[in-house]
Amino acid sequence: MIHLYDTLEGEVRELRLRDEGRVGIYLCGPTVYDLPHLGHGRHALVWDVLHRWLAFEGLEVNFVSNVTDIDDKIINRAAREGISEEAVTTRFENEWWRALEALGVAPPTHAPHATAYVAPMIEVIAALIERDVAYSTDDGVYFDVSRVEDYGRLSGQSLESLKSGARVEANEAKRSPLDFALWKLAKPGEPSWDAPFGAGRPGWHTECVVMSLELLGEGFDLHCGGLDLKFPHHENERAQASALGRPFARHWGHHGWVMVGEEKMSKSLGNFTSLTDLLATTDPRAYRLLVLRSHYRSPLEVTPETIADAERSLERLDALARRFALAPLAGEHLELASDHDFSGPAGQLRGRIASALEDDLDTPQAVAKLFDATSQANVMADRGDPRGAAQLARAVGALFGAMGLRLHTSDDEVDETSADLLAKREAARSAGDYSEADRLRDVLAGHGWLIEDTPTGSVLRRA
RNA sequence: GGCGGCGUGGCCGAGUGGUUAGGCAGGGGCCUGCAAAGCCCCGUACUCCGGUUCGAAUCCGGACGCCGCCUCCA
């Protein structure tokens, strides 16, 4: 079974499943009030790789990732643009799924909307009030963090140190600056749901704790998200579950930042590139490869240069796919190891990839091994072992597919004119008329084609 | 102030007490009519200063520089 770094324990440890053969994962999803940026892309990709790999290995994966569709930011944006909250959330949720699809992220098993779970959220808040862990003020219901014994454990800080660092002026009505909102009473004109403690809307931390428990059940396997969610979001989810006496996530995973220069990419810093912009100009697979070649817990430098670097390195992999005419893999659906042939050297390769990934999702190691195998397959082919080479190449393709990276074969549609030009060049070449052959190659280049002369004939591919 | 992290060759980016990361870029060669693709060879890095050690980029201490969380944030 895979070993992952568990933020709560502070060590890499085996992911011990609640139910044999089945794994339940909750990934905190987006608040849909703006375009997704590269940081969200890494977030989706990192956990997509885990999702895909576990499924590849034959586990039944219940992958839940929510959409937060009620939030102050949504309300603010709607007010600013003079449109409804629904108009905002619909637009940006569509953008979200479009971007993820383009990145080749497998859809979650469930993608709950917060607004569909308000009733159970109200129940949870009522139960917390009943236990005297939550209290009402004139603007909402707050959670009393002092009532949770180990509050701060996930973030590795004591209640005292968290208090001393609190930057925000204490809300007069709150008992502690660290107490967080479970329910916010609606101001005039704001969307609201009726509740015993007043019409309003749920707080973000309550949304995730409720949806994860509703869809995955108590003691589910893994709760993950970006490092910035560790505190306060995940800490607060944990606090609520703990106060209710409900077993929560058995394991916590957090991934690192996307960096721009030496700064974290974030909306508040205004230095983000939207995924929409990236995908308009770049092969989305390049971003996945970039994410794969760094460790998920490390910061990752993303600049036009590093993206371009990854795009070029992808060409080498696509060349392999062309050379061995690999079948396309890893689209929307999840690859299964059982659908592939891993006999002989292919099996050894699979074993190496498995040990890398099972060691805290060591994708850089896995990628390095797959590049090594790529060279090896080419060498085998060059040295007269086409069968062995093809078998290894297929394994490379399948294992990249297991991580969601789909290699491209030369599936470019060649139009008649270009095919004709290619045939003419072939004729000129055989006749020894190389200047004519080169001229025709230039003409084809003008149409965006590159020629590769192989032992079995010349082929065109898009430049 | 509290807590956590980082500093690796031209660039990105792994890793580890002594044995090749990997990719991209660059140089040389093979193959090719010439290319493309592929193959072979090459750089010999680890912020600085001490210490531990037979041996440290890897452990310990210190210095310097940088980043993040503690507020909405993937």
- Does residue A131 register a pLDDT over 90? yes
Q: Which 8-state DSSP code applies to residue A9? A: T
- Report the distance separating Cα A459 and Cα A448, nearest Å: 13
Host H or E run for residue A240 = helix A235-244
Name the closest nucleotide to A38, judged by C1' and CA. Answer: B74
Do A112 and A64 form a contact (C-beta atoms < 8 A)? yes
Distance A382 CA to B39 C1' (A): 7
Q: How many other CB atoms sit within 10 Å of the CB of residue A185?
A: 19
- Rounded to 5 degrees, what angle do the CA atoms A55, A58, A62 make? 45
Distance A153 CA to B1 C1' (A): 20
Residue nearest to nucleotide B24 (CA to C1'): A309
pLDDT in tens, A174-213: 888 889 999 999 999 999 999 999 999 999 999 999 999 9
Distance A455 CA to B33 C1' (A): 15
Distance A425 CA to B35 C1' (A): 13
Nucleotides on chain B within 7 angstroms of protein Cβ: 1-4, 6, 11-15, 21-25, 32-40, 66-74
- Does residue A358 register a pLDDT over 90? yes
Mean pLDDT of A49-71: 96
Which residue stretches of A35-71 are H helix? 38-56
Name the closest nucleotide to A255, judged by C1' and CA. Answer: B74
Do A395 and A350 form a contact (C-beta atoms < 8 A)? yes
Q: Which 8-state DSSP code applies to residue A146? A: G
Name the closest nucleotide to A432, judged by C1' and CA. Answer: B33
In 3D, which of A145, A172, A168 has the Cα closest to residue A157? A145
Do A372 and A317 form a contact (C-beta atoms < 8 A)? no
Distance A109 CA to B69 C1' (A): 31
Listed range (A38-52, A163-177, A343-357) with the worst mean pLDDT? A163-177
Angle between helices A363-382 and A284-292 (to 10 degrees): 110
pLDDT in tens, A376-391: 999 999 888 889 999 9
* Share of residues in chain A with pLDDT > 70 (%): 96
Residue nearest to nucleotide B39 (CA to C1'): A379
Listed range (A133-142, A166-175, A300-309, A312-321) with the worst mean pLDDT? A166-175
Q: Which 8-state DSSP code applies to residue A168? A: S
Name the closest nucleotide to A453, judged by C1' and CA. Answer: B36
Distance A372 CA to B29 C1' (A): 22
Q: Which 8-state DSSP code applies to residue A234? A: I
* Structural tokens at position A310: 């990854």
Distance A457 CA to B11 C1' (A): 37
Q: How many other CB atoms sit within 10 Å of the CB of residue A349?
A: 23
Question: What's the Cα-to-Cα distance from A428 to each of A172, A183, A271, A444, rounded to whole Å?
Answer: 87, 77, 54, 14
Distance A258 CA to B15 C1' (A): 21
Distance A255 CA to B2 C1' (A): 23
Residue A172 pLDDT level (bands cut at 50, 70, 90): low
Do A103 and A288 form a contact (C-beta atoms < 8 A)? yes
Listed range (A9-23, A30-44, A168-182, A439-453) with the worst mean pLDDT? A168-182
Distance A299 CA to B6 C1' (A): 9
Residue nearest to nucleotide B2 (CA to C1'): A161
pLDDT of residue A392: 95
Mean pLDDT of A318-332: 83
- Does residue A170 register a pLDDT over 60? no
Residue nearest to nucleotide B14 (CA to C1'): A364
Q: Which 8-state DSSP code applies to residue A12? A: E
Name the closest nucleotide to A261, judged by C1' and CA. Answer: B67
Backbone phi, psi, residue A68, to 5°: -85, 110
End-to-end CA distance of chain A: 42
pLDDT of residue A330: 60
Mean pLDDT of A400-424: 88
Name the closest nucleotide to A224, judged by C1' and CA. Answer: B74
Do A191 and A75 form a contact (C-beta atoms < 8 A)? yes
- Report the distance separating Cα A85 and Cα A66, nearest Å: 18
Distance A227 CA to B52 C1' (A): 35
Name the closest nucleotide to A322, judged by C1' and CA. Answer: B37
pLDDT of residue A167: 60
Residue nearest to nucleotide B37 (CA to C1'): A452
- Report the distance separating Cα A348 and Cα A4, nearest Å: 23
Distance A327 CA to B51 C1' (A): 57
Name the closest nucleotide to A379, judged by C1' and CA. Answer: B39
pLDDT in tens, A77-95: 999 999 999 999 999 999 9
Name the closest nucleotide to A161, judged by C1' and CA. Answer: B2
* Structural tokens at position A381: 């082919």
Residue nearest to nucleotide B3 (CA to C1'): A157
- Report the distance separating Cα A280 and Cα A287, nearest Å: 12
Site of tokens 């469930």? A110
ipTM of model: 0.93
Distance A294 CA to B28 C1' (A): 31
What value does the mean pLDDT of chain A take? Answer: 91
Distance A365 CA to B44 C1' (A): 22
In 3D, which of A207, A182, A224 has the Cα closest to residue A114? A207
- Within its chain, how far is the Cα of A67 from the centroid? 14
Name the closest nucleotide to A46, judged by C1' and CA. Answer: B74
Name the closest nucleotide to A319, judged by C1' and CA. Answer: B37
